[in-house]
Amino acid sequence: MAASIGKSCTRTILVHFAHEHTDFRIPELQSILGLFHIEATVPKECLKEAHIKCKESFKYQVTSFNKKLNKERKLQIIEDLPHETLAFEGPVDLKNPQHEYHIIEDYGSLLGQPTEAPQQVYFAKWIADGQREKINEFHLQKRHFIANTSMDAGLSMVMSNLGQVQSGTLIFDPFVGSGSLLVSAAAQGAFVMARPSRANVKQRSDDESVRANLRQYGLESHYIDILVADSSRVNMWREQPLFHSIITDPPYGIREGAKRIEKSEKHIAQRTEYHLSDIFMDLLNFAARYLTLNGRLEGMSDAELHVDHFQESTFRDMYFKESNL
């Protein structure tokens, strides 16, 4: 539920995460820290001393993880605080406090029963909220054009962060589909290019496009182009460092079969199976040619994501049923 990052011994920050995509947490945090050139260690130890004297108005706030606490209990926790030791000099203001101090009680892993007593109690000053509301803002349910493998908004943002997508850079998705990854990259201020498969382009009308999806969020200016091409042809561009990040969700196994064009006996364009190992090889070759120095290649494979994709496709089934698509 929480990780504390500390810079030397001068500042310690408690980060309270949503309990989701737990494997990506530390790598994502480290990517973001790297993006802003912040050197920080991410220790396993929790913070010990975190109280600040202050004359401005404040309030206490109790939150808990893996257990609901009722009002009375929360009040009790606040009353039980060592008020003499804390000795805040400012007035309490419940509506508009200048500072919020959080008491966070951790009742163990989400998968298990809540423990009787909290396993950890944190006391920390609130600095900022995360941007989880962006997941709603960019939710697929409200997305103009979605395909049956559209990546959900939360994971798309995680991927942008892992790929260290920055404002004013050029990003490429070689397996674009409906462009969810590019929507989140453009929302970070990046400019986006992509390669769909032919099927994707032909079936869709004008307003059912990656471009229309960006337009929906006022991000059309961040759209550069999409090109129909075969992703196994890696030498389509002038060879130079071009893309700052390549973020992609390649077609694989259960989700979507990949196709590429190869020679055949019969002299007709032949779409053959495109194996995962070849996809990764082509991606690596592509990245080696066109990524800028320190650029990132970020790919999703479903081994790590079994549960999420299951949930996502269940959601999609419901969505298609309800909207009679």
Partner 1 sequence: MKLLTHNMLTSNIIKGVSKGFPLKIVASKVEEKEVDFVPEFTARMIPKIDWPALRQAAADLGKPDNLPENVVEKYEENEEFLKKTHHVLMELEVLEGELICPETGRKFPVSNGIPNMLLREDEV
Ligand X SMILES: C[S@@+](CC[C@H](N)C(=O)[O-])C[C@H]1O[C@@H](n2cnc3c(N)ncnc32)[C@H](O)[C@@H]1O
* Closer residue to ligand X in complex, CB, 175/223: 175
- 40 Cβ contact partners less than 8 Å away, ≥ 6 residues apart: 5, 6, 7, 33
- Pick the closest to residue 162 from 303, 295, 31 (CA basis): 31
Q: Which stretch binds partner 1 (CB under 8 A): 70-78, 93-101, 257-265, 311-319?
A: 257-265
Per CB under 8 A, the list member of 60, 101, 122, 191 interacting with partner 1 is: 191
Residue 237 interaction partner, one of partner 1, ligand X, none, beta carbon < 5-8 Å per kind? partner 1
- Amino acid, single-letter form, for residue 307: V
Within 180-199, the residues that bind ligand X by CB under 6 A are 180-181, 195, 197, 199
Residue 178 CA to residue 207 CA, distance in Å, equals 12
Residue tagged 């496009």 (tokens): 209
Q: How far is the CB of 139 from ligand X (least distance, A)?
A: 13
Q: How many CA atoms lie within 13 A of 78 on its CB side?
A: 17
169 binds partner 1 (CB under 8 A): yes
209 binds ligand X (CB under 6 A): no
* Closer residue to partner 1 in complex, CB, 9/268: 268
Q: How far is the CB of 274 from ligand X (least distance, A)?
A: 5
* Closer residue to partner 1 in complex, CB, 273/317: 273
| Element housing 114 (H / E) | none
Task: Please state, as a whole number, how many other Cβ atoms lie within 10 Å of the Cβ of residue 274.
Answer: 21
267 binds partner 1 (CB under 8 A): yes
- 154 Cβ contact partners less than 8 Å away, ≥ 6 residues apart: 20, 21, 135
199 binds partner 1 (CB under 8 A): no
242 binds partner 1 (CB under 8 A): yes
* Closer residue to partner 1 in complex, CB, 120/221: 221
* Closer residue to ligand X in complex, CB, 160/169: 160
Length of the chain in residues, anyone? Answer: 325
Angle between helices 25-35 and 153-162 in degrees, nearest 10:
50
In what order do the strands lie in the sheet containing 58-65? Answer: 58-65, 99-106, 120-125
Question: SS3 of 34, please?
Answer: helix
Q: How far is the CB of 141 from ligand X (least distance, A)?
A: 14
**Burial bucket for residue 185 (CB in 10 Å: 0-12, 13-18, 19+):** buried
Per CB under 8 A, the list member of 10, 85, 96, 240 interacting with partner 1 is: 240
Per CB under 6 A, the list member of 184, 200, 209, 213 interacting with ligand X is: 200
Provide the binding-site residues for partner 1, judged by CB under 8 A. 167-170, 191, 193, 198, 201, 206, 221, 224-230, 233, 235-238, 240-242, 261-264, 267-270
